[in-house]
A and B are shown apart, each in its own frame.
Chain A
């Protein structure tokens, strides 16, 4: 699996996320309040809304359309109306760059 250089660490505020598009797919990359980085699929599993416009609260991402929530560390669906877990992707930080291992 290739590690792809996705963004700089300071491209994402703490407790926030950005959208990252790569090879025709869209992803969301998160910067947690603890300073860690995570990556998930970029679209909500409920109705394909981009999560990048949502709100990060602690370790949760809330979808901007229906307020469904996922734990972005595990992808687990945490609050209705989302029922299907979000796909997650491994992330590593080298220097000031964030790399995502895309499948």
Chain B
């Protein structure tokens, strides 16, 4: 039986508010104002380049996939298209929801809307859930984007490498949004003024998926669904792989991103797909820094952070045993050592909330 209650209406959520945890000031590394201004500076050029590469590649790959369909020779092209559709859309959704990818607002908004559709997230809802994720990262009951709840359900985590759990959740939710607007849970983080948008976006999504399914039925072929919808499943593995590493196995109910987030050095292809969100401690500490400046931010503050994992494989070797251990002991979490140059973790930051940062649980 789980002791943590992740419901926004449950006792953990209530305790987080009553204890002052939700209003607490988070730890951040000191960075001189002029340096930070330079890091925060916006530019259209990197994101325009990357967006042309992304959408251009998708068009070429899907065209070859269609040309070779239904031969198995088309499979590699669909697999590559799927990763760009079902995984790169996650990072585009994310960065554009912050409004930092492009300098020009309408460019952020357009890519955000397209990416939200592809990753199957109501664009009018998830903007707000992500704001909460940043305010109250991994505070139980408050953060609506906790990917690995404790005790973890390993089967669900594995199924989601194929988007199965996400899609199973998405279908009834988008239908419900289309019929009656946001759910009671969504209303806890979406302002009332935005509720009509939630319904409007859902109606558009449902209409597009209905047209795609009708096309598939009319042509007696799943080809339309290979282009729209299914890539969210057969291409999801990369964003699940990288997404789990963001916070998996680390602390919850703390107010220091060095304790609940993970930075991982990754290969250039994964960094393109992931838009540099492998610098995840840095991103959470300074969400105004655009993705293209995160490597520079990392170089600036790395002496105050736990050493990054050296690769995706190494990070999984650290995270996966911790997640498995949490199945039996949900209080367990990884606490990484800080370099001697870093300011120490402040236990008193976290200890005023009952059950948090129990030293015996950390290793």
Listed in ascending order, the chain A residues whose CB lies under 8 Å from chain B are 16, 46-48, 53-55, 57, 62, 64-67, 69, 79-81, 83
Contacts and interface: CB of A to CB of B under 8 A. Distances in A.
Contacts of A54: 288
Contacts of B127: 80-81
A47 B99 contact: no
A70 B81 CA distance: 39
Contact of A81 (B100, B103, B131): B131
Contacts of B36: 53
A67 B99 contact: yes
Contacts of A67: 98-100, 287-288
B247 interface: no
B358 interface: no
B42 interface: yes
Nearest to B105: A79
Main secondary structure of the interface of B (DSSP, over half): helix
B201 to A, nearest CB: 13
Contacts of B287: 64-67
B37 interface: yes
Name A's interface SS.
loop
Instruction: Rank and list the top 10 A-B pairs by shortest CB-CB distance, nearest first.
Output: A81-B131, A66-B131, A55-B40, A67-B99, A67-B98, A64-B288, A83-B191, A47-B135, A55-B288, A80-B127
B37 A55 contact: yes
B77 interface: no
A50 B145 CA distance: 25
Contacts of A83: 191, 193
Interface in B123-173: 127-128, 131, 134-135
Nearest to A66: B131
Contact of A16 (B37, B98, B134): B37
Contacts of A57: 42, 103
A83 B193 CA distance: 9
A48 B20 CA distance: 14
Contacts of A66: 131, 134-135, 287
A66 B134 CA distance: 7
A67 B40 CA distance: 11
